[in-house]
Amino acid sequence: FRYRVAVLGATGLVGRTMIQVLEERNFPVDELVPLASQRSASQIVRFKGREFITAVPSGDIFRNVDIALFSAGASASREWAHVAAAAGAIVIDNSSAFRMEPGIPLVVPEVNPEAIFKADGTPESIIANPNCSTIQMVVVLKPLYDRYGVKRVVVSTYQSVTGKGKAGRDALESELAGEVQEQFTHFHQIAFNAVPQIDTFTENGYTKEEMKMVNETRKIMGDEALAVSPTTVRIPVYGGHGESLNIELENEFDIDELRALLASSPGIILQDDPSARIYPMPLTSYERDEVFAGRIRRDFWNPKTLNMWIVADNLRKGAATNAVQIAEVIAARQEKA
Protein backbone atom coordinates (compact mmCIF):
# COMPACT_ATOMS: atom_id res chain seq x y z
CA PHE A 1 0.00 0.00 0.00
CA ARG A 2 1.10 3.56 -0.66
CA TYR A 3 -0.82 6.56 0.58
CA ARG A 4 -1.73 10.02 -0.63
CA VAL A 5 -0.97 12.06 2.48
CA ALA A 6 -2.16 15.61 3.08
CA VAL A 7 -0.61 17.83 5.74
CA LEU A 8 -2.81 20.78 6.75
CA GLY A 9 -0.64 23.42 8.40
CA ALA A 10 2.33 22.32 6.29
CA THR A 11 4.29 25.55 6.84
CA GLY A 12 3.96 25.60 10.62
CA LEU A 13 6.57 24.20 13.03
CA VAL A 14 4.57 21.00 13.66
CA GLY A 15 3.47 20.67 10.01
CA ARG A 16 7.03 20.90 8.77
CA THR A 17 8.07 18.38 11.42
CA MET A 18 5.29 16.03 10.25
CA ILE A 19 6.70 16.16 6.69
CA GLN A 20 10.23 15.64 8.04
CA VAL A 21 9.12 12.63 10.11
CA LEU A 22 7.17 11.09 7.20
CA GLU A 23 10.42 11.15 5.25
CA GLU A 24 12.70 10.03 8.08
CA ARG A 25 10.46 7.06 8.97
CA ASN A 26 9.98 6.28 5.29
CA PHE A 27 6.19 6.23 5.56
CA PRO A 28 4.81 4.85 2.24
CA VAL A 29 3.76 8.16 0.75
CA ASP A 30 2.57 7.89 -2.85
CA GLU A 31 1.83 11.61 -3.04
CA LEU A 32 2.30 14.48 -0.58
CA VAL A 33 -0.42 17.16 -0.53
CA PRO A 34 0.85 20.08 1.59
CA LEU A 35 -1.99 22.42 2.56
CA ALA A 36 -1.92 25.78 4.28
CA SER A 37 -4.24 28.65 5.03
CA GLN A 38 -4.67 31.44 2.44
CA ARG A 39 -2.12 33.46 4.43
CA SER A 40 0.54 30.75 4.04
CA ALA A 41 -0.50 29.49 0.60
CA SER A 42 2.01 29.06 -2.25
CA GLN A 43 4.94 28.46 0.08
CA ILE A 44 7.53 25.82 -0.77
CA VAL A 45 7.95 22.65 1.33
CA ARG A 46 10.53 19.98 0.58
CA PHE A 47 9.91 16.23 0.75
CA LYS A 48 12.24 13.45 -0.47
CA GLY A 49 14.31 15.88 -2.51
CA ARG A 50 11.30 17.39 -4.28
CA GLU A 51 9.73 20.82 -3.83
CA PHE A 52 5.99 21.19 -3.30
CA ILE A 53 3.90 24.36 -3.31
CA THR A 54 1.33 24.54 -0.52
CA ALA A 55 -2.28 24.71 -1.69
CA VAL A 56 -5.39 26.01 0.05
CA PRO A 57 -7.66 23.19 1.36
CA SER A 58 -10.89 22.36 -0.50
CA GLY A 59 -13.44 19.53 -0.52
CA ASP A 60 -12.16 18.37 -3.91
CA ILE A 61 -8.55 18.14 -2.74
CA PHE A 62 -9.50 15.73 0.06
CA ARG A 63 -11.26 13.41 -2.43
CA ASN A 64 -7.77 12.32 -3.55
CA VAL A 65 -6.31 11.96 -0.06
CA ASP A 66 -6.03 8.73 1.96
CA ILE A 67 -4.60 10.16 5.20
CA ALA A 68 -4.78 13.80 6.30
CA LEU A 69 -2.50 15.03 9.10
CA PHE A 70 -3.88 18.23 10.59
CA SER A 71 -1.94 20.79 12.59
CA ALA A 72 -3.34 24.20 11.71
CA GLY A 73 -5.23 25.05 14.88
CA ALA A 74 -8.59 24.03 16.28
CA SER A 75 -10.70 26.31 14.07
CA ALA A 76 -9.13 24.96 10.86
CA SER A 77 -9.72 21.41 12.14
CA ARG A 78 -13.33 22.19 12.96
CA GLU A 79 -13.73 23.63 9.45
CA TRP A 80 -12.04 20.82 7.50
CA ALA A 81 -11.90 17.53 9.49
CA HIS A 82 -15.47 16.41 8.70
CA VAL A 83 -15.14 17.62 5.09
CA ALA A 84 -11.97 15.55 4.66
CA ALA A 85 -13.52 12.53 6.40
CA ALA A 86 -16.64 12.77 4.23
CA ALA A 87 -14.37 12.83 1.17
CA GLY A 88 -12.87 9.52 2.32
CA ALA A 89 -9.69 10.64 4.08
CA ILE A 90 -8.64 9.36 7.51
CA VAL A 91 -7.95 12.51 9.56
CA ILE A 92 -5.29 12.48 12.29
CA ASP A 93 -5.80 15.81 14.04
CA ASN A 94 -3.11 17.37 16.23
CA SER A 95 -5.35 20.27 17.28
CA SER A 96 -7.42 20.34 20.46
CA ALA A 97 -10.70 20.46 18.46
CA PHE A 98 -11.91 16.86 18.92
CA ARG A 99 -9.72 15.42 21.70
CA MET A 100 -12.50 15.23 24.27
CA GLU A 101 -15.27 14.55 21.72
CA PRO A 102 -17.09 11.32 22.68
CA GLY A 103 -16.76 8.86 19.81
CA ILE A 104 -13.51 10.36 18.55
CA PRO A 105 -10.49 8.38 19.81
CA LEU A 106 -7.56 10.14 21.50
CA VAL A 107 -4.53 7.97 20.75
CA VAL A 108 -0.94 7.35 21.79
CA PRO A 109 0.16 4.20 19.89
CA GLU A 110 2.19 2.83 22.83
CA VAL A 111 -0.87 3.15 25.08
CA ASN A 112 -4.19 2.62 23.31
CA PRO A 113 -3.63 1.69 19.62
CA GLU A 114 -6.82 -0.37 19.58
CA ALA A 115 -8.84 2.84 19.93
CA ILE A 116 -7.88 3.72 16.33
CA PHE A 117 -10.20 1.04 14.97
CA LYS A 118 -13.93 0.51 14.86
CA ALA A 119 -15.54 -2.80 15.84
CA ASP A 120 -15.31 -3.93 12.20
CA GLY A 121 -11.54 -3.40 12.23
CA THR A 122 -11.54 -0.37 9.94
CA PRO A 123 -9.94 2.89 11.16
CA GLU A 124 -12.08 5.65 12.64
CA SER A 125 -12.37 8.55 10.18
CA ILE A 126 -11.14 11.18 12.66
CA ILE A 127 -8.45 10.36 15.25
CA ALA A 128 -7.24 12.98 17.73
CA ASN A 129 -3.58 13.43 18.63
CA PRO A 130 -3.23 14.38 22.33
CA ASN A 131 -1.52 17.47 23.71
CA CYS A 132 2.29 17.16 23.79
CA SER A 133 2.59 17.34 27.58
CA THR A 134 -0.02 14.56 27.91
CA ILE A 135 1.60 12.24 25.35
CA GLN A 136 5.00 11.97 27.01
CA MET A 137 3.41 11.41 30.42
CA VAL A 138 1.07 8.56 29.38
CA VAL A 139 3.90 6.75 27.53
CA VAL A 140 5.58 6.40 30.92
CA LEU A 141 2.40 5.85 32.95
CA LYS A 142 1.17 2.97 30.76
CA PRO A 143 3.66 0.24 31.83
CA LEU A 144 3.39 1.34 35.46
CA TYR A 145 -0.40 1.32 35.23
CA ASP A 146 -0.51 -2.19 33.77
CA ARG A 147 1.97 -3.66 36.24
CA TYR A 148 1.32 -1.79 39.51
CA GLY A 149 -1.85 0.27 39.00
CA VAL A 150 -1.64 4.08 39.20
CA LYS A 151 -3.75 6.09 41.66
CA ARG A 152 -2.44 9.62 41.39
CA VAL A 153 0.13 11.66 39.47
CA VAL A 154 1.39 15.05 40.58
CA VAL A 155 3.06 16.58 37.51
CA SER A 156 5.02 19.81 37.10
CA THR A 157 6.01 20.64 33.54
CA TYR A 158 8.95 22.64 32.19
CA GLN A 159 7.73 23.36 28.66
CA SER A 160 9.71 24.48 25.63
CA VAL A 161 8.83 27.74 23.92
CA THR A 162 8.31 25.72 20.70
CA GLY A 163 5.01 24.57 22.21
CA LYS A 164 3.75 27.91 20.89
CA GLY A 165 5.11 27.14 17.42
CA LYS A 166 7.28 29.50 15.42
CA ALA A 167 5.89 32.51 17.32
CA GLY A 168 6.89 30.96 20.61
CA ARG A 169 10.41 30.26 19.45
CA ASP A 170 10.81 33.64 17.73
CA ALA A 171 9.65 35.42 20.91
CA LEU A 172 12.57 33.99 22.88
CA GLU A 173 15.04 34.74 20.10
CA SER A 174 13.95 38.38 19.82
CA GLU A 175 14.02 38.86 23.59
CA LEU A 176 17.52 37.39 23.73
CA ALA A 177 18.46 39.80 20.92
CA GLY A 178 17.31 42.63 23.15
CA GLU A 179 14.41 43.66 20.92
CA VAL A 180 11.61 45.53 22.69
CA GLN A 181 8.37 43.50 22.68
CA GLU A 182 5.04 45.12 21.81
CA GLN A 183 3.30 42.29 23.66
CA PHE A 184 4.57 39.01 25.09
CA THR A 185 3.81 35.73 23.27
CA HIS A 186 4.25 33.89 26.59
CA PHE A 187 2.23 36.47 28.59
CA HIS A 188 5.45 37.84 30.13
CA GLN A 189 9.11 38.01 29.15
CA ILE A 190 10.29 34.40 28.81
CA ALA A 191 14.05 35.00 28.47
CA PHE A 192 15.76 34.27 31.83
CA ASN A 193 12.31 33.62 33.28
CA ALA A 194 9.71 30.89 34.00
CA VAL A 195 6.03 31.64 33.35
CA PRO A 196 3.49 29.48 35.26
CA GLN A 197 0.80 30.05 32.66
CA ILE A 198 0.34 28.10 29.43
CA ASP A 199 -2.88 28.95 27.58
CA THR A 200 -5.68 30.76 29.43
CA PHE A 201 -7.00 30.18 32.96
CA THR A 202 -10.30 28.35 33.49
CA GLU A 203 -12.72 29.18 36.29
CA ASN A 204 -11.13 26.66 38.69
CA GLY A 205 -7.74 28.36 38.82
CA TYR A 206 -6.09 25.85 36.50
CA THR A 207 -5.04 26.71 32.94
CA LYS A 208 -6.46 24.99 29.85
CA GLU A 209 -3.06 23.31 29.43
CA GLU A 210 -3.32 21.87 32.93
CA MET A 211 -6.90 20.71 32.38
CA LYS A 212 -5.80 19.00 29.13
CA MET A 213 -3.35 16.92 31.18
CA VAL A 214 -6.17 15.91 33.55
CA ASN A 215 -8.91 15.18 31.03
CA GLU A 216 -6.86 13.73 28.16
CA THR A 217 -4.92 11.38 30.44
CA ARG A 218 -8.13 9.88 31.83
CA LYS A 219 -9.57 9.40 28.31
CA ILE A 220 -6.40 7.78 26.91
CA MET A 221 -5.90 5.52 29.94
CA GLY A 222 -9.65 4.74 30.06
CA ASP A 223 -9.77 5.51 33.78
CA GLU A 224 -11.94 8.35 35.04
CA ALA A 225 -10.67 7.75 38.59
CA LEU A 226 -7.02 8.44 37.70
CA ALA A 227 -6.06 11.55 39.66
CA VAL A 228 -3.78 14.02 37.84
CA SER A 229 -2.64 17.13 39.70
CA PRO A 230 -0.86 19.41 37.19
CA THR A 231 1.16 22.61 37.11
CA THR A 232 2.35 23.63 33.64
CA VAL A 233 5.17 26.15 33.28
CA ARG A 234 6.87 27.71 30.24
CA ILE A 235 10.67 27.92 30.34
CA PRO A 236 13.15 29.34 27.82
CA VAL A 237 14.37 26.11 26.13
CA TYR A 238 13.97 24.74 22.58
CA GLY A 239 14.65 21.00 22.70
CA GLY A 240 11.61 19.60 24.43
CA HIS A 241 9.29 19.48 27.42
CA GLY A 242 10.51 18.30 30.81
CA GLU A 243 8.12 16.90 33.40
CA SER A 244 8.66 16.11 37.08
CA LEU A 245 6.31 13.27 38.06
CA ASN A 246 5.32 12.09 41.53
CA ILE A 247 3.42 8.84 40.92
CA GLU A 248 1.39 7.01 43.56
CA LEU A 249 0.91 3.37 42.59
CA GLU A 250 -1.77 0.96 43.76
CA ASN A 251 0.80 -1.68 44.72
CA GLU A 252 4.26 -1.87 46.25
CA PHE A 253 7.23 -2.02 43.89
CA ASP A 254 10.90 -2.85 43.76
CA ILE A 255 12.71 0.16 42.33
CA ASP A 256 15.16 -1.88 40.23
CA GLU A 257 12.36 -3.99 38.80
CA LEU A 258 10.38 -0.83 38.04
CA ARG A 259 13.40 0.72 36.31
CA ALA A 260 13.88 -2.43 34.24
CA LEU A 261 10.20 -2.40 33.31
CA LEU A 262 10.46 1.16 31.99
CA ALA A 263 13.68 0.39 30.12
CA SER A 264 11.92 -2.46 28.29
CA SER A 265 8.71 -0.56 27.53
CA PRO A 266 7.89 0.80 24.06
CA GLY A 267 8.82 4.40 23.33
CA ILE A 268 10.92 4.85 26.48
CA ILE A 269 14.69 5.29 26.79
CA LEU A 270 16.13 5.19 30.31
CA GLN A 271 18.79 7.79 31.11
CA ASP A 272 19.21 7.19 34.83
CA ASP A 273 22.72 7.17 36.27
CA PRO A 274 23.05 10.16 38.62
CA SER A 275 26.60 9.14 39.63
CA ALA A 276 27.60 9.76 36.02
CA ARG A 277 25.32 12.80 35.79
CA ILE A 278 23.18 10.90 33.26
CA TYR A 279 19.56 12.04 33.19
CA PRO A 280 17.21 13.36 30.48
CA MET A 281 17.61 16.94 29.29
CA PRO A 282 15.92 18.95 26.50
CA LEU A 283 19.23 19.30 24.68
CA THR A 284 19.63 15.52 24.43
CA SER A 285 15.99 14.83 23.50
CA TYR A 286 15.97 17.35 20.64
CA GLU A 287 14.77 15.80 17.34
CA ARG A 288 14.40 12.37 18.96
CA ASP A 289 11.16 10.33 18.91
CA GLU A 290 11.35 8.65 22.30
CA VAL A 291 10.43 9.68 25.85
CA PHE A 292 13.52 9.83 28.05
CA ALA A 293 13.13 8.84 31.73
CA GLY A 294 15.51 9.32 34.64
CA ARG A 295 15.94 10.50 38.25
CA ILE A 296 13.80 7.48 39.21
CA ARG A 297 13.68 7.28 43.01
CA ARG A 298 11.32 6.24 45.77
CA ASP A 299 9.33 9.02 47.45
CA PHE A 300 10.59 8.52 51.00
CA TRP A 301 7.46 10.04 52.58
CA ASN A 302 4.71 8.08 50.86
CA PRO A 303 4.63 4.30 50.35
CA LYS A 304 3.96 2.96 46.82
CA THR A 305 5.08 6.32 45.46
CA LEU A 306 8.03 7.33 43.27
CA ASN A 307 9.51 10.45 41.70
CA MET A 308 10.93 10.66 38.19
CA TRP A 309 11.88 13.15 35.52
CA ILE A 310 10.99 12.71 31.85
CA VAL A 311 11.81 14.70 28.70
CA ALA A 312 10.54 14.43 25.12
CA ASP A 313 10.78 16.58 22.01
CA ASN A 314 7.35 18.21 22.03
CA LEU A 315 7.38 18.77 18.25
CA ARG A 316 8.18 15.12 17.58
CA LYS A 317 6.82 12.54 20.05
CA GLY A 318 4.71 15.37 21.44
CA ALA A 319 3.04 16.04 18.10
CA ALA A 320 4.36 15.05 14.64
CA THR A 321 5.85 11.62 15.38
CA ASN A 322 2.85 10.52 17.44
CA ALA A 323 0.58 11.45 14.52
CA VAL A 324 2.77 9.58 12.00
CA GLN A 325 2.93 6.57 14.35
CA ILE A 326 -0.89 6.48 14.34
CA ALA A 327 -0.73 6.44 10.51
CA GLU A 328 1.84 3.62 10.73
CA VAL A 329 -0.51 1.54 12.90
CA ILE A 330 -3.26 2.03 10.29
CA ALA A 331 -0.90 1.14 7.42
CA ALA A 332 0.33 -1.98 9.24
CA ARG A 333 -3.25 -3.15 9.83
CA GLN A 334 -4.13 -2.61 6.16
CA GLU A 335 -1.05 -4.55 5.08
CA LYS A 336 -2.24 -7.50 7.20
CA ALA A 337 -5.87 -7.26 6.07
Q: Which is nearer to ligand 2RA, 17 or 133 (CB)?
A: 133
User: Which single residue brings its beta carbon nearest to ligand 2RA?
Assistant: 163
Coil vs helix vs strand at 46: strand
Q: Which is nearer to ligand 2RA, 74 or 227 (CB)?
A: 74
Known catalytic residue at 132: yes
Burial class (CB in 10 A: 0-12, 13-18, 19+), 273: exposed
Q: How far is the CB of 131 from ligand 2RA (least distance, A)?
A: 5
Backbone angles phi, psi at 26, to 5 degrees: 55, 45
Applying CB under 6 A, among 61, 104, 198, 323 the residue interacting with ligand 2RA is 198
**Spatial separation of the C-alpha atoms in residues 35 and 43, rounded to whole Å:** 10
Q: Name the active-site residue from 82, 186, 188, 241.
A: 241
Strands (E), the chain: 3-8, 29-35, 44-47, 50-53, 67-70, 90-93, 126-128, 150-159, 227-234, 241-249, 268-270, 291-298, 305-312
Closest residue by Cα to residue 241 from 197, 285, 194, 185: 285
Asked if 194 and 234 touch (Cβ cutoff 8 Å), the reply is: yes
Report the site for ligand 2RA in 100-159 (rule: CB under 6 A). 131-133, 159
Q: How far is the CB of 134 from ligand 2RA (least distance, A)?
A: 8
Q: How far is the CB of 332 from ligand 2RA (least distance, A)?
A: 27
- 77 in contact with ligand 2RA (CB under 6 A): no
Q: Which residues are annotated as a binding site?
A: 11-14, 39-40, 99, 159, 234, 314
Count the neighbouring beta carbons within 10 Å of the beta carbon of residue 20.
19
Applying CB under 6 A, among 16, 99, 164, 259 the residue interacting with ligand 2RA is 164
Q: By the criterion CB under 6 A, which residues form the site for ligand 2RA?
A: 131-133, 159, 163-164, 198, 209
Residues with catalytic annotation? 132, 241
